[in-house]
Chain A
Amino acid sequence: MSLRTEPAPSRALPAARPRWLAAVLVTVAVPLVLLTPRLLARATGTPDLGPDGLVLGGRAAGIVIGLLAATAVALLVVGLLPRPRWAYPEGGTRDLRIDTLRGVAIVFVVLNHLAMPSLFQLLTQEAIGPVSGAEIFVALSGIVVGLVYRDRLQRSDLLAVTAALTRRALTLYLTALVVLLGVYVLTLLPGVDGRVITTYTNPVTHDSFELYPNIGRLLDYPVPGWILRDIVLLRLGPYQFNILGLYVVLLAVAPVMVAALQRRLVAVLLVLSWLLYLSHAVAPASLFQAQFESPFPLLVWQLLFVHGVAAGWYQRELLAWSRTAAGRVLVVGAVLLQAAMMVFSWSNPFLSNRWDVRLALVPDATWNAFDGQWFNRTDLGLGRVLATLVLLVSAYALLSAFWAPLHRLLGWFLVPLGQATLYVFVVHIVVALVLANVPGLDQGNVLLNSAAHLGILALLWLMVRHRVLFKIIPR
């Protein structure tokens, strides 16, 4: 999913050694975070709901919100102080903050796709606001395009840029095709349970869908043309991978966006993007009936990408502006709004396992209705668009202000993953298949599953560090 189109320079993987201390710290901090609500519940007399998780209401919820607000304010106060030793060293050739954020997004995506109740899930499933890895990813991809190709246009021209973007789109497309077919072949191996790849089960309704309908017709003679067409249009395939189709289309169209920005038509571009977004609300259209279009309708999701491209293009200007008084006010506003978004998503009526915690602030039905109206994921409700924006702004601001400690703590882990996202994305499909065939997992043993998640993250990280199969698997 990485949008980098140049061959990876060796510096793409910084030589920073893993901070084992940081790893230990995280493994200590996570249980601590998990225990705090429980202690809080006990202290405030909220009943512990045991196997279904913990619901905090009333005073306990108030304390949680207070703590969150205090943290936000504290970060703002410290962050706004001039503290050059912690700040991100501006001026490098590659924005490592973006790589870090991509690392976060890919970790979210991977853990959510390896769907097992685990401690990590508590963090990755909308714990940081009503935003999932996909939204972050699509927006970041756009940002990278804008960032990279404005630079590139200084040295070459639109034709070369178009060629580079088209090549990248083609790489992603071929990767999608090969994974579509390759992983299916793996599911056919004797003794392999391929349902994790070939079916999708709605976690709420428990309805099950075939993801490879009629794939068997490939063995017909003659092979029906429509099954080939369905494959070519990516109408089949593992659901974990379908977002790649969205990128293929967005990247193929990206030269138009770059051309518009080059001609200073940013306003036209954004207005057009909003019109397309709105057109979906009026008359939803599926252009290719590709699989990705049902979870990620193209006309809706382009909004994040296009705005990402524009933001990346004007990164310098936006950063400069963020240092003005008005800019600072907006950043502060975004951080506070981010805290509010977190309170909202913590109030969701779902508990995924006994370690899960939620706030009980509004009745479930009210929350559901509000969520459905403003935060719909598939159709990208306006609230979700706003949530994505404030999350990215505050995360970027956080990384800018506290770069040194954060990089030390997690950068060594996130940056390599964030620089090889397509690779990680390909590998995680195979991991998902393997994992589904390991007996004993996903039986509700949260701690065991968490250990598995941790092991997988370590494995992916090591594979990236040691460039395992880098020559074969694209990045």
Chain B
Amino acid sequence: MTSNRSLEIPVDDRDEGSVSDHSTLENHSTLDNPQAVQSDGPVVDDTSVDDDALSTVEVPVPWSARRFLVRALAVLTVALGANYIVWRWLFSVNWAAWPLAVPLILAETYSFVDGFLFGFTMWRLRERGKAPKPPRGATVDVFITTYNEDVEMVMTTALAAQAIRHPHETWVLDDGARPEMRAAAEAAGIGYLTRTEDWKDRPRHAKAGNLNNALFMTSGEFLLILDADQIPSPDILDLTLGWFRDDQVALVQTPQWFTNVTDSDPLGSQAPLFYGPIQQGKDGWNAAFFCGSNAVLRREALMQIGVAGYVREVERAVRETLRAADRILRTVHKNADEHGPEVREALQELRLAVRAARAELAGGDAVGQVTWRFQQRARVASRLTVSADLAALTADLEAIGGMAVHTEPESGLPVIDERALAALTARGSSPLEALAQVHEIVLAIDVDRALEAQAVMPMATISVTEDMATAMRLHAAGWRTVYHHEVLAHGLAPEDLATMLHQRLRWSQGTLQVLLRENPLTQRGLTVPQRMMYLATMWSYLSGFAAVVYIAAPIVYMLIGTSPVISFGGPFFLHLLPFLLANQLLFLVVGWGVKTWRGQQYSLALFPLWIRACTTAVGNVVFGRSLGFVVTPKTRQVGAPAWHLVRPQLAAMGLLVFAAVVGVVRMVVGQADILPTSVNMVWIAYDLVVLSVIVQAALYRGFEPETADAVEAGR
């Protein structure tokens, strides 16, 4: 009944601009890293990938047989799942207890759809094997993105990058603009880039902005993007560039693998199911995701979507801002005459200009022409009012809380401040105010994007997870992507609960932002399977709501004895068990040799976080609220376990145990029936085992290399 696969984790393991993530990483700069570069070349050579993590992902059965098995099981799972869910809807929902039954059937339907999308993903599982030889003379820039990470750690990565065999240029992209970072990079003969003056006081877009900045300062045909802690193998380019022999390929993504993770991985850092079957499945549908690091991109493709995205965003912004201008002008006081004929004339002229522009846009005229004509007319109109009393105007504007149009710091797009607009229109703006507001609007729809550092933003800036949004735009523009299943860079994962929670929240928020801003189902240019692949990932982030139901249902049954299912008798098992069995088999075959249990646990156990991601993402995209952040301590806790971060889970576990005790007592005294109580006991036990990961995570003291063999795995 519950989703049996982990949340898909499509994105980079860190996000820039958050201090807490990096500070954790900083703590490990002294960590005995097997790949630490002490001198030059030869040492780095040792880090080449041979029998590392990949060997554990090796397919134990011949390829075609496995694929056949996977397909057979996928069909079986979906068919049996449909059989179960239809039976549930039609014959076994206890409608009399609808407050319980409806959430459960909805949660089950959610899980069924999840399972279907998983099966669909696996349908064209693609194992590519070795890439052809790199294209002759390919020029490459290696970008190492950093913000505030330890210089020593960044340099370890940078030197490893410098030692990559294929000819390339190495760049440290320092968003923190630290002199010591510059000195270290330059001393090692590594390129150092930081933001240009253009970015001053403009939206920075975190890592996406950092990369966009660098794109315009370099010229390599291909880009290898690495996070500051991702130490590349010397052959990373030799092994991946060959895929670009296909002119349509825009991206080659390789897995992320973490060296500072114990075998038991209590924080669930490794994502072997995602960097494996899921990415391979997506690859089969030409939908392999970009994950922010350890990936090679084709510059031409990025620039192309940058331009296309620019045009689209400008179009949308122009439409919205013109609408706002119209609204403001419509509410101008009737007493415009007081300000003299010039003002009245200017207003009249503006009104006509706005209407004309809107009509032209609706009529399909080119945005550039429309805005140019509009700006000409607007400038003429505002020149008429130069003599207006600016002081009075400023005071007026302060009273209503500022301009109705401003530039959103996160996306850099002109946005309408609905509150200011409402305040303005509710009280009826004065003519001067209206003129000032509309003047702002004229600026906002400037096609030169005077408010942005760069007019063209190749890396998508609509989400905190720029990678997924960028990949989707690449796909929509017809480019192909490749998932190369070979660990070619080794990184560091968060080592404490707080940082891990923060990171997961950002991922899920980012993914949901993309879903809400650029819904894959409605994106032009994507194939149907590609849409399904993006949907699958986004869908998996909605699991928090289902998790609440799966935890609550057995509690409710034990406590009040009302079952959301009509009977837990024979038909129930007859429908459910074959489905569960097929599902588990599919999972087993797909994830053969891969540790998927942690992922499964976390997809349920982090339910408060997933729900919060949904609410904050909706708040951000729909209502223009800040995403908000998990309050994370600056340094790793050394004191007591961080129970306070997982209170809802602990409360849920307490309730489950309490419900189990009540259920047993009721069964023993003969009040409750044995069969349904047993079913719910098993259910409670499953929930508890799944949730127990949170206790392990809270107790986790961080990675200790001496005791863990994960260092070996990373070697």
Contacts and interface: CB of A to CB of B under 8 A. Distances in A.
Interface of A: 154, 156-159, 221-223, 225, 228, 262-264
Nearest to A155: B401
Interface string B576-616: 00000000000000000000000000000000000000000
Contact of A225 (B96, B666, B671, B672): B96
Most buried by B among A157, A228, A263, A264: A157
Contact of A221 (B97, B419, B426, B561): B561
B406 to A, nearest CB: 14
Contact of B97 (A158, A225, A262, A264): A225
A158 B423 CA distance: 11
A223 B623 contact: no
Given A154-B401, A228-B560, A262-B426, A221 B623 contact: no
Interface of B: 96-97, 99, 401, 418-419, 422, 426, 559-563, 623, 625, 666, 671-672
A262 B422 CA distance: 10
Pick the 3 closest A-B CB pairs, nearest first. A222-B561, A223-B560, A157-B419
B562 A222 contact: yes
Interface residue SS majority, chain B: helix
A15 B561 CA distance: 53
Given A157-B422, A264-B426, 16 more contacts: A156-B419, A157-B418, A157-B419, A158-B419, A159-B625, A221-B561, A221-B671, A222-B560, A222-B561, A223-B559, A223-B561, A223-B562, A225-B96, A225-B97, A225-B562, A262-B422
Nearest to A263: B426
A222 B401 CA distance: 57
B6 to A, nearest CB: 33
A221 B666 contact: yes
Contacts of B563: 222
Contacts of A159: 623, 625
A264 B625 CA distance: 26
B95 to A, nearest CB: 11
Given A154-B401, A263-B426, A264-B426, A221 B672 contact: yes
Contacts of A158: 419
A158 B422 CA distance: 10
A400 to B, nearest CB: 28
Contacts of A264: 426
A222 B418 CA distance: 51
Nearest to A227: B560
A225 B98 CA distance: 10
B667 to A, nearest CB: 10
A223 B562 CA distance: 7
Contacts of B623: 159
25 contacts: A154-B401, A156-B419, A157-B418, A157-B422, A158-B419, A159-B623, A221-B561, A221-B671, A221-B672, A222-B560, A222-B561, A222-B562, A222-B563, A223-B559, A223-B560, A223-B561, A223-B562, A225-B97, A225-B99, A225-B562, A228-B560, A262-B422, A262-B426, A263-B426, A264-B426
A34 to B, nearest CB: 54
Nearest to A154: B401
Contacts of A156: 419
Contacts of A228: 560
Contacts of A222: 560-563
Nearest to A220: B561
Contacts of A262: 422, 426
Nearest to A219: B671
Nearest to B96: A225
Nearest to B672: A221
Contacts of A157: 418-419, 422
A156 B419 CA distance: 8
B515 to A, nearest CB: 21
Contacts of B97: 225
B657 to A, nearest CB: 20
A223 B672 CA distance: 11
Contacts of B426: 262-264
Nearest to B559: A223
Contacts of B96: 225
Contacts of B625: 159
A225 B563 CA distance: 11
A28 to B, nearest CB: 53
B359 to A, nearest CB: 29
A467 B623 CA distance: 38
B567 to A, nearest CB: 13
A450 B710 CA distance: 76
A156 B624 CA distance: 12
A159 B615 CA distance: 14
A104 B711 CA distance: 71
A348 B422 CA distance: 52
Nearest to A223: B560
A222 B625 CA distance: 44
A225 B96 CA distance: 9
A222 B94 CA distance: 14
A53 B422 CA distance: 61
A264 to B, nearest CB: 7
Contacts of A263: 426
Nearest to A160: B625
B157 to A, nearest CB: 43
A11 B510 CA distance: 41
A185 to B, nearest CB: 16
A225 B559 CA distance: 12
B70 to A, nearest CB: 43
A159 B618 CA distance: 13
Contacts of B562: 222-223, 225
A404 to B, nearest CB: 34
A222 B563 CA distance: 9
A225 B94 CA distance: 12
Contacts of B561: 221-223
A228 B672 CA distance: 19
A223 B623 CA distance: 42
Contacts of B560: 222-223, 228
Nearest to A229: B99
A164 to B, nearest CB: 14
Contacts of A221: 561, 666, 671-672
B423 to A, nearest CB: 9
B640 to A, nearest CB: 21
Contacts of B422: 157, 262
B622 to A, nearest CB: 10
A223 B99 CA distance: 14
B96 to A, nearest CB: 7
